[in-house]
Protein backbone atom coordinates (compact mmCIF):
# COMPACT_ATOMS: atom_id res chain seq x y z
CA UNK A 1 0.00 0.00 0.00
CA UNK A 2 1.13 3.56 -0.63
CA UNK A 3 2.08 5.50 2.49
CA UNK A 4 4.82 7.75 1.06
CA UNK A 5 5.17 11.02 2.87
CA UNK A 6 2.58 10.12 5.48
CA UNK A 7 3.13 11.14 9.06
CA UNK A 8 4.49 8.85 11.74
CA UNK A 9 2.79 8.44 15.09
CA UNK A 10 3.96 9.99 18.32
CA UNK A 11 2.37 7.14 20.23
CA UNK A 12 5.18 4.68 19.63
CA UNK A 13 7.24 3.31 22.46
CA UNK A 14 10.45 1.81 21.17
CA UNK A 15 11.66 -0.93 23.48
CA UNK A 16 13.72 -2.74 20.90
CA UNK A 17 16.91 -4.10 22.30
CA UNK A 18 15.80 -3.65 25.85
CA UNK A 19 15.68 -6.46 28.34
CA UNK A 20 12.46 -7.88 29.65
CA UNK A 21 12.83 -6.25 33.03
CA UNK A 22 11.53 -7.58 36.29
CA UNK A 23 8.94 -10.27 36.11
CA UNK A 24 5.64 -9.62 37.73
CA UNK A 25 4.74 -12.50 40.00
CA UNK A 26 1.46 -13.52 38.50
CA UNK A 27 2.37 -16.66 36.64
CA UNK A 28 3.17 -14.85 33.43
CA UNK A 29 1.01 -15.76 30.51
CA UNK A 30 -0.60 -18.58 32.46
CA UNK A 31 -2.83 -16.07 34.17
CA UNK A 32 -4.06 -14.51 30.99
CA UNK A 33 -7.12 -14.77 28.91
CA UNK A 34 -6.62 -15.32 25.39
CA UNK A 35 -7.47 -15.27 21.74
CA UNK A 36 -4.74 -14.75 19.11
CA UNK A 37 -3.89 -13.80 15.61
CA UNK A 38 -1.48 -16.17 13.95
CA UNK A 39 -0.47 -17.63 17.27
CA UNK A 40 -1.38 -21.07 16.07
CA UNK A 41 1.26 -20.72 13.42
CA UNK A 42 3.83 -20.87 16.13
CA UNK A 43 2.24 -24.01 17.50
CA UNK A 44 0.99 -22.23 20.57
CA UNK A 45 -2.50 -21.52 21.64
CA UNK A 46 -2.02 -18.25 23.37
CA UNK A 47 -3.45 -15.22 21.89
CA UNK A 48 -3.45 -11.67 20.90
CA UNK A 49 -5.84 -10.21 23.40
CA UNK A 50 -4.44 -10.38 26.84
CA UNK A 51 -6.56 -9.56 29.81
CA UNK A 52 -5.14 -7.40 32.52
CA UNK A 53 -3.94 -9.23 35.58
CA UNK A 54 -2.24 -6.25 37.18
CA UNK A 55 1.38 -5.15 37.47
CA UNK A 56 3.30 -2.56 35.55
CA UNK A 57 5.97 -2.50 32.91
CA UNK A 58 9.62 -2.16 33.86
CA UNK A 59 12.47 -2.32 31.40
CA UNK A 60 16.20 -2.36 31.52
CA UNK A 61 18.11 -0.46 28.92
CA UNK A 62 20.24 -2.05 26.23
CA UNK A 63 21.55 -0.93 22.92
CA UNK A 64 19.65 -2.09 19.89
CA UNK A 65 21.02 -2.21 16.40
CA UNK A 66 18.46 -2.51 13.67
CA UNK A 67 18.92 -3.46 10.04
CA UNK A 68 17.74 -1.14 7.27
CA UNK A 69 14.85 -3.49 6.60
CA UNK A 70 13.82 -3.41 10.23
CA UNK A 71 13.93 0.38 10.22
CA UNK A 72 11.75 0.41 7.13
CA UNK A 73 9.25 -1.78 8.95
CA UNK A 74 9.42 0.43 12.04
CA UNK A 75 8.55 3.51 9.98
CA UNK A 76 5.78 1.60 8.23
CA UNK A 77 4.28 0.43 11.54
CA UNK A 78 4.43 3.97 12.87
CA UNK A 79 2.69 5.32 9.76
CA UNK A 80 -0.01 2.66 9.99
CA UNK A 81 -0.70 3.38 13.65
CA UNK A 82 -0.80 7.12 12.81
CA UNK A 83 -3.36 6.38 10.12
CA UNK A 84 -5.51 4.39 12.58
CA UNK A 85 -5.34 7.37 14.96
CA UNK A 86 -6.62 9.80 12.32
CA UNK A 87 -9.27 7.49 10.98
CA UNK A 88 -10.67 6.26 14.28
CA UNK A 89 -10.71 9.82 15.65
CA UNK A 90 -12.75 10.78 12.59
CA UNK A 91 -15.14 7.82 12.94
CA UNK A 92 -15.66 8.48 16.65
CA UNK A 93 -16.51 12.08 15.82
CA UNK A 94 -18.78 11.13 12.95
CA UNK A 95 -20.78 8.67 15.04
CA UNK A 96 -20.85 10.87 18.16
CA UNK A 97 -18.87 8.33 20.17
CA UNK A 98 -16.63 11.05 21.63
CA UNK A 99 -12.88 11.55 21.77
CA UNK A 100 -10.75 8.68 20.52
CA UNK A 101 -8.04 7.74 23.02
CA UNK A 102 -5.36 6.25 20.79
CA UNK A 103 -3.44 3.16 21.90
CA UNK A 104 0.35 3.15 22.11
CA UNK A 105 2.32 0.94 19.75
CA UNK A 106 5.15 -0.80 21.57
CA UNK A 107 7.96 -2.14 19.40
CA UNK A 108 10.01 -4.75 21.21
CA UNK A 109 12.33 -7.65 20.53
CA UNK A 110 11.88 -11.07 22.05
CA UNK A 111 9.96 -10.42 25.22
CA UNK A 112 8.64 -7.49 27.18
CA UNK A 113 6.62 -6.65 30.24
CA UNK A 114 3.02 -5.55 29.82
CA UNK A 115 0.20 -4.73 32.22
CA UNK A 116 -1.14 -8.14 31.15
CA UNK A 117 1.98 -10.08 32.12
CA UNK A 118 5.02 -10.90 30.07
CA UNK A 119 4.56 -10.59 26.34
CA UNK A 120 6.60 -12.80 24.03
CA UNK A 121 7.27 -12.54 20.34
CA UNK A 122 6.19 -16.18 19.87
CA UNK A 123 2.66 -15.09 20.74
CA UNK A 124 2.49 -12.88 17.68
CA UNK A 125 1.31 -9.27 17.89
CA UNK A 126 -1.18 -8.67 20.68
CA UNK A 127 -3.20 -6.00 22.45
CA UNK A 128 -3.29 -5.51 26.21
CA UNK A 129 -6.32 -3.61 27.46
CA UNK A 130 -4.68 -3.13 30.86
CA UNK A 131 -2.30 -0.54 29.41
CA UNK A 132 -4.06 0.06 26.08
CA UNK A 133 -0.99 -0.86 24.11
CA UNK A 134 -0.43 -2.85 20.94
CA UNK A 135 2.72 -4.99 21.19
CA UNK A 136 4.68 -5.83 18.07
CA UNK A 137 8.01 -7.52 17.46
CA UNK A 138 8.88 -6.50 13.89
CA UNK A 139 10.43 -9.92 13.28
CA UNK A 140 6.85 -11.13 13.09
CA UNK A 141 6.53 -9.57 9.66
CA UNK A 142 9.39 -11.71 8.40
CA UNK A 143 7.74 -14.79 9.89
CA UNK A 144 4.58 -13.76 8.13
CA UNK A 145 6.31 -13.57 4.76
CA UNK A 146 7.95 -16.92 5.35
CA UNK A 147 5.18 -18.95 6.94
CA UNK A 148 2.13 -17.47 5.32
CA UNK A 149 3.76 -17.05 1.97
CA UNK A 150 2.29 -13.58 1.92
CA UNK A 151 4.34 -12.14 -0.87
CA UNK A 152 3.69 -8.53 -0.03
CA UNK A 153 6.49 -6.03 0.30
CA UNK A 154 7.47 -4.32 3.52
CA UNK A 155 4.53 -1.97 3.31
CA UNK A 156 1.81 -4.39 2.26
CA UNK A 157 -1.79 -4.06 3.34
CA UNK A 158 -1.48 -7.58 4.76
CA UNK A 159 1.06 -6.25 7.27
CA UNK A 160 -1.00 -3.15 8.00
CA UNK A 161 -4.00 -5.42 8.56
CA UNK A 162 -2.14 -7.14 11.40
CA UNK A 163 -1.71 -3.80 13.17
CA UNK A 164 -5.22 -2.62 12.33
CA UNK A 165 -6.60 -5.90 13.74
CA UNK A 166 -4.90 -5.20 17.08
CA UNK A 167 -6.26 -1.66 17.03
CA UNK A 168 -9.62 -3.35 16.39
CA UNK A 169 -9.30 -4.99 19.82
CA UNK A 170 -8.62 -1.54 21.26
CA UNK A 171 -11.88 -0.33 19.70
CA UNK A 172 -13.64 -3.32 21.27
CA UNK A 173 -12.13 -2.32 24.59
CA UNK A 174 -13.32 1.29 24.24
CA UNK A 175 -16.82 0.07 23.30
CA UNK A 176 -16.96 -2.18 26.37
CA UNK A 177 -17.22 -5.28 24.21
CA UNK A 178 -13.86 -6.72 25.23
CA UNK A 179 -14.44 -6.66 29.00
CA UNK A 180 -17.98 -7.94 28.65
CA UNK A 181 -16.82 -10.87 26.55
CA UNK A 182 -13.92 -11.64 28.89
CA UNK A 183 -16.28 -11.75 31.87
CA UNK A 184 -18.53 -14.20 30.06
CA UNK A 185 -15.53 -16.27 28.98
CA UNK A 186 -14.40 -16.64 32.56
CA UNK A 187 -17.84 -17.82 33.64
CA UNK A 188 -18.28 -20.59 31.12
CA UNK A 189 -16.61 -23.71 29.75
CA UNK A 190 -13.79 -23.76 27.22
CA UNK A 191 -15.94 -24.54 24.20
CA UNK A 192 -18.26 -21.62 24.90
CA UNK A 193 -15.35 -19.33 25.79
CA UNK A 194 -13.85 -20.14 22.39
CA UNK A 195 -17.08 -19.02 20.73
CA UNK A 196 -16.81 -15.63 22.41
CA UNK A 197 -13.19 -15.46 21.37
CA UNK A 198 -14.09 -16.13 17.73
CA UNK A 199 -16.61 -13.27 17.81
CA UNK A 200 -14.04 -10.90 19.31
CA UNK A 201 -11.51 -11.85 16.67
CA UNK A 202 -13.90 -11.52 13.75
CA UNK A 203 -14.99 -8.14 15.06
CA UNK A 204 -11.34 -7.05 15.14
CA UNK A 205 -11.04 -8.25 11.52
CA UNK A 206 -14.14 -6.25 10.69
CA UNK A 207 -12.71 -3.10 12.32
CA UNK A 208 -9.46 -3.63 10.41
CA UNK A 209 -11.57 -3.67 7.25
CA UNK A 210 -13.34 -0.47 8.29
CA UNK A 211 -9.97 1.19 8.80
CA UNK A 212 -8.81 0.04 5.34
CA UNK A 213 -12.04 1.39 3.84
CA UNK A 214 -11.37 4.89 5.17
CA UNK A 215 -7.67 4.68 4.44
CA UNK A 216 -8.43 4.10 0.78
CA UNK A 217 -11.29 6.60 0.68
CA UNK A 218 -9.13 9.41 2.07
CA UNK A 219 -5.77 8.53 0.54
CA UNK A 220 -6.47 6.23 -2.39
CA UNK A 221 -3.63 4.15 -0.96
CA UNK A 222 -4.89 0.63 -1.56
CA UNK A 223 -4.68 -1.14 -4.90
CA UNK A 224 -6.69 -4.18 -5.91
CA UNK A 225 -3.55 -6.21 -5.48
CA UNK A 226 -3.04 -4.89 -1.93
CA UNK A 227 -6.59 -5.84 -1.10
CA UNK A 228 -6.19 -9.32 -2.54
CA UNK A 229 -3.02 -9.85 -0.50
CA UNK A 230 -4.79 -8.84 2.71
CA UNK A 231 -7.69 -11.16 1.92
CA UNK A 232 -5.24 -13.99 1.17
CA UNK A 233 -3.63 -13.28 4.52
CA UNK A 234 -7.02 -13.48 6.30
CA UNK A 235 -7.61 -16.75 4.49
CA UNK A 236 -4.34 -18.20 5.71
CA UNK A 237 -4.89 -17.36 9.35
CA UNK A 238 -8.27 -19.04 9.66
CA UNK A 239 -8.32 -21.68 12.41
CA UNK A 240 -9.45 -24.40 10.02
CA UNK A 241 -6.64 -23.63 7.59
CA UNK A 242 -3.97 -23.50 10.29
CA UNK A 243 -5.15 -26.64 12.06
CA UNK A 244 -5.37 -28.63 8.86
CA UNK A 245 -1.89 -27.52 7.99
CA UNK A 246 -0.52 -28.34 11.44
CA UNK A 247 -2.32 -31.60 12.21
CA UNK A 248 -4.19 -32.65 9.07
CA UNK A 249 -7.69 -31.99 10.41
CA UNK A 250 -9.67 -29.20 12.04
CA UNK A 251 -11.51 -29.21 15.37
CA UNK A 252 -14.19 -26.51 15.18
CA UNK A 253 -14.85 -26.51 18.95
CA UNK A 254 -11.25 -25.43 19.52
CA UNK A 255 -11.41 -22.51 17.12
CA UNK A 256 -10.58 -19.19 18.76
CA UNK A 257 -10.31 -16.92 15.73
CA UNK A 258 -12.79 -18.19 13.19
CA UNK A 259 -12.48 -20.03 9.91
CA UNK A 260 -10.73 -18.66 6.85
CA UNK A 261 -14.10 -17.97 5.24
CA UNK A 262 -15.30 -16.07 8.31
CA UNK A 263 -12.14 -14.01 8.63
CA UNK A 264 -12.26 -13.01 4.96
CA UNK A 265 -15.98 -12.28 5.20
CA UNK A 266 -15.71 -9.89 8.15
CA UNK A 267 -12.63 -8.11 6.89
CA UNK A 268 -14.31 -7.63 3.51
CA UNK A 269 -17.57 -6.49 5.09
CA UNK A 270 -15.68 -3.79 6.99
CA UNK A 271 -13.78 -2.80 3.89
CA UNK A 272 -16.84 -2.62 1.67
CA UNK A 273 -19.21 -0.83 4.06
CA UNK A 274 -16.90 1.22 6.30
CA UNK A 275 -19.87 1.19 8.66
CA UNK A 276 -19.00 0.56 12.31
CA UNK A 277 -22.65 -0.23 13.07
CA UNK A 278 -22.23 -3.44 11.11
CA UNK A 279 -19.91 -4.88 13.79
CA UNK A 280 -22.53 -7.46 14.71
CA UNK A 281 -20.46 -10.59 15.33
CA UNK A 282 -22.07 -11.06 18.78
CA UNK A 283 -25.57 -10.86 17.33
CA UNK A 284 -24.95 -13.59 14.74
CA UNK A 285 -25.83 -17.24 15.18
CA UNK A 286 -23.16 -19.87 14.57
CA UNK A 287 -24.71 -20.39 11.15
CA UNK A 288 -24.71 -16.76 10.05
CA UNK A 289 -21.36 -15.74 11.58
Does the protein bind Zn ion through residue 167 (CB under 5 A)? no
Does the protein bind Zn ion through residue 205 (CB under 5 A)? no
As measured in angstroms, the least distance from the Cβ of 273 to Zn ion is: 20
Does the protein bind Zn ion through residue 34 (CB under 5 A)? no
Rg over alpha carbons for the chain, rounded to the nearest Å, is 18
Stated as kind and residue range, the H or E segment containing 272 is helix 260-273
Inter-residue contact 238 to 263 (CB < 8 Å): yes
CB-nearer residue toward Zn ion: 16 or 257: 257
Inter-residue contact 36 to 126 (CB < 8 Å): yes
CB-nearer residue toward Zn ion: 48 or 239: 48
Stated as kind and residue range, the H or E segment containing 13 is strand 12-14
* Distance separating alpha carbons of residues 230 and 66, to the nearest angstrom: 26
CB-nearer residue toward Zn ion: 51 or 221: 51
Does the protein bind Zn ion through residue 204 (CB under 5 A)? yes
Q: Give the binding range for Zn ion (CB under 5 A) out of 36-44, 92-100, 174-182, 217-225.
A: 36-44
Inter-residue contact 166 to 204 (CB < 8 Å): yes
Inter-residue contact 105 to 133 (CB < 8 Å): yes
CB-nearer residue toward Zn ion: 18 or 80: 80
Point out which residues pair with 135 in neighbouring strands.
106, 126
Q: Count interface residues toward Zn ion (CB under 5 A).
A: 4
- Distance spanning both ends of the chain, measured CA to CA: 29
CB-nearer residue toward Zn ion: 107 or 162: 162
Does the protein bind Zn ion through residue 37 (CB under 5 A)? yes
The secondary structure of the chain in percent helix, strand, coil, rounded to multiples of 5, reads 50, 10, 40
As measured in angstroms, the least distance from the Cβ of 217 to Zn ion is: 24
Binding to Zn ion, residues 41-70 (CB under 5 A): 48
CB-nearer residue toward Zn ion: 48 or 70: 48
Q: Which residue is nearest to Zn ion (CB)?
A: 48
- Residues at the interface with Zn ion (CB under 5 A): 37, 48, 201, 204
Amino acid sequence: MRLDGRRESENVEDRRGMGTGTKIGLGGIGGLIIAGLITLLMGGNIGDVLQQVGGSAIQTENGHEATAEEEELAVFASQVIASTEDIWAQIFKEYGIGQYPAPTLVLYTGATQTACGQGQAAMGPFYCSGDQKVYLDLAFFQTMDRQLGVKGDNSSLAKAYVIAHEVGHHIEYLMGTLDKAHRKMQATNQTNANKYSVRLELMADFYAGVWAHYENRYFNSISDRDLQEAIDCAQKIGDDYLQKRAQGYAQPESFTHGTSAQRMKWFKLGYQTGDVRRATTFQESDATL
